Amino acid sequence: MNIALTPGEMLFYGGIAGMAITLIAALIVVIVMSGSRRRLRKKLKEEYGEKVK
């Protein structure tokens, strides 16, 4: 059984794998940043009070 990939197949499947890794990393960043955003808003609200309209 020969499993060698041609350069075109390597680029194709490598691109799919790269996009999957990028998507997972983006999801992790969004989760971490949303947590940081909540903590920052809470701290700013404690220090400066509510936003006045």
Q: What is the 3-state secondary structure (H, E, C) of the chain?
A: CCCCCCHHHHHHHHHHHHHHHHHHHHHHHHHHHHHHHHHHHHHHHHHHCCCCC
Work out the average pLDDT over 4-17. 94
pLDDT at 53: 63
pLDDT at 1: 64
Work out the average pLDDT over 23-47. 93
The reply to whether the predicted model has a pTM over 0.75 is no
Percent of the chain at pLDDT above 70? 92
